[in-house]
Amino acid sequence: MRWVWPSAAWCYPDLLSAGVRVARCHDIALVEALLLGRDGRHGETATLAAAWARLRGERVPRQAAAASGAPQAAALRVAQQALFQPAETEWPEGDIVLDALAAVYADQLVRMATGDAPARLRLLAAAESAGALAAAEMSFDGLPWRPEVHDELLAGLLGPRPARGERPSRLAGLAEQITAAFGGRPVNPDSPSQLVRAFAADGVSVSSTRSEVLRGIDHPAAPLLLQYKELARLHAAHGWAWLDSWVTAGRFHPEYVVGGVVSGRWATNGGGALQIPRVLRRAVVADPGWTLVVGDAAQLEPRVLAALAGDRAFAQAAAAGDLYSELAGAFGGDRGKAKVALLSAMYGGAGGEAGQLLAVLRRRFPDAAGYVEAAARAGEEGRVVRSVLGRTCPPPSAAWRLATASATEPGAARSVRARGRFTRNFVVQASAADWALVLIACLRPRLTALGAPTGPSGPGRAHLVFFQHDEVIVHCREELAEPVVAAIGSAAREAGRLVFGSTPVRFPVTTAVVSCYADAKARGGP
């Protein structure tokens, strides 16, 4: 039993406000996007209205402008309203909407059955739809956020909250010092071009004002600027204005965009939920009597590569605890070298000693190296590649084809290599996103099944409050912490089975039960 609807992003928030929770759904818009992508038609509108028009050979309604903030076409809004009007009112378009839903749904089932691996694509469609439910629920429930902790952190770093539009005292002081360091010439530290000119006037030539560039130059303004930039960024991106806009009643309510990244990762539409500075994790605190269970998939992408490639030696290493340590033997016992080799293989880097390490990787783990290199070659030749569950990368643009058609075209080789790096990384990143999405889909019903004193959908329930690529946070009553930890582990194992079948590769999730997000184990190995 599942709901079939035009878009969870549009239909579900109103239901949540009305106290209704949905277990499963089929999200027409998200599945349409997957199917269009599968057929090399990434740019086309994926709404119910567009799919319905295509099905009947009619003109496809224009896509709403992305910048307008409205993610759906107006036609779909009409459809959605009609679908959810109370039954006793007249809804003249209702039959049409239901006809469209039924017809497009049936068509999508047929199209899903026609690919190379229909079962995998159906799994991807189900997981994407479940992700849309989780995203709407997380936006609705919100991430526990203590504004007073946030304010104290800001005040400690920047000085007390300034009047609107004013620089905080710490930034104002640094700006004065920077001006003094340039011999009293006024310079706006927020303006890269002014800074480049100011450095030039002092005989220091800089290519840009990036932090890494500033770290390498000898000028009294450089260390001041490094401090200024770090604090100014915090103030601009996650300062008091952010707090006012995004945190209400002790909850941060971000807007997730499921499938917002070509690789299948989520994006955000506001609030920057996927870019929260680590220092602000101190403000994420469980309610009294509650706790946060923070789960982090350890070394997810190299493990995904091991499972994808079916490289026996590599998969054997990924069956144990620390993947890089297991691989270190092949690199003279140096864990760091193993990590560099893996990251270079997945990202396409070859600078420094990476080239040598890649050669070692190729010799010792030929199937793993061969997998990403085949993906890179496909991209360089203008072909598309797919994730393990069948999410497809976009084809090259017309501009790319033009620029790479002739070897004499300046930059042709550079464009070719860039697309190779993109497709090389896509197969890994997108397959990791597949796994994480299935993890979420498996975890939701497990959390519901844990129940609560007030019932499974009542205020005492364990619920997801955060999802960031390979990391989840569940907010639950303290007594549910252990069952939640077990649920995350069990969901991870099921995700591994569903996505990769029988493989020796394990996908361990490290969990931390904490009252404050900042106290969860720092990501990244030793």
Partner DNA sequence: TTCCGTTGCGCG
Partner DNA sequence: AAAGCGCGCAACGGAA
Nearer to DNA, 226 or 402 (CB): 226
Nearer Cβ to DNA (49/396): 396
Q: How far apart are CA 292 and CA 144, in angstroms?
A: 9
| Minimum distance, C-beta of residue 215 to DNA, in the bound complex (Å) | 7
Distance CA 245, CA 459 (A): 25
Contacts of 44 (CB under 8 A, 6+ apart): 36, 50, 60
Q: Using CA atoms, how far apart are residues 342 and 508, in angstroms rounded to an integer?
A: 18
Rounded Cα distance, 38 and 387, in Å: 11
Which lies closer to DNA via its Cβ, residue 396 or residue 496? 396
Which element (helix H / strand E) includes 472?
A: strand 471-477
Q: Closest distance between DNA and the C-beta of residue 330, in Å?
A: 16
Report the DSSP pairing between strands 143-144 and 251-252. antiparallel
Residues 6+ apart with CB under 8 A from 416: 380, 404
Q: CA–CA separation, 224 vs 189, rounded Å?
A: 10
Q: Which is nearer to DNA, 86 or 351 (CB)?
A: 351
Reading the block at residue 41, the tokens are: 């038609």
**Shortest separation between residue 424's beta carbon and DNA, angstroms:** 7
CA distance 354 to 349: 7
Do 107 and 56 touch, CB atoms closer than 8 A?
no
CB of 3 to DNA, least distance (A): 26
Nearer to DNA, 84 or 140 (CB): 140
| Token output for 247 | 């945190």
Tell me how far, at minimum, the Cβ of 189 lies from DNA, in Å: 9
CA distance 174 to 83: 57
For DNA, which is the closer residue by CB, 116 or 212?
Answer: 212
Q: Provide, rounded to whole angstroms, the least separation between the CB of residue 99 and DNA.
A: 34
Q: Which is nearer to DNA, 203 or 351 (CB)?
A: 351
The one-letter code for the residue type at 505 is V
Contact 290, 251 (CB under 8 A): no
Task: Compute the distance between CA of residue 32 and CA of residue 109 in angstroms, rounded to an integer.
Answer: 11
Q: Are 187 and 195 in contact (CB under 8 A)?
A: yes
Read off the DSSP letter of residue 367.
H
Least CB distance from residue 37 to DNA, whole Å? Answer: 12
Spatial neighbors of 371 by CB under 8 A, at least 6 apart, are 305, 308, 309, 311, 427
**Of 315 and 375, which has the nearer Cβ to DNA?**
375
Judged by beta carbon, residue 312 or residue 523, the one nearer DNA is 523
Minimum CB separation of residue 51 from DNA in Å reads 23
Smallest gap from residue 297 Cβ to DNA (A): 8
Amino acid at 386: R
The 3-state secondary structure of 43-71 reads: CCCCCHHHHHHHHCCCCCCCCCCHHHCCC
* Closer residue to DNA (CB): 434 or 470: 470
Helix (H) or strand (E) run with residue 4 in it: strand 3-5
Reduced to 3 states (helix: H, G, I; strand: E, B; else coil), residue 505 is coil
Smallest separation (angstroms) from DNA to the CB of 277: 4
The H or E element spanning position 327 is helix 323-328
Percent helix, strand, coil in the chain, to 5, is 55, 10, 35
Residues of the shown chain interacting with DNA in the complex, contacts defined by CB under 7 A: 67, 188, 190-194, 208-212, 214-215, 229-230, 233, 236-237, 242, 257, 260-263, 265, 267-272, 274-279, 336, 339-340, 343-344, 347-349, 351-354, 418, 421-422, 425-426, 429, 468-471, 523
For DNA, the closer of residues 263 and 503 by Cβ is 263
Min separation Cβ 253 and DNA, Å: 12
What Rg do the C-alpha atoms of the chain give, in angstroms? 25
Of 7 and 108, nearer to DNA (C-beta) is: 7
User: Which position has the token pair 């994407």?
Assistant: 128
CB of 525 to DNA, least distance (A): 12
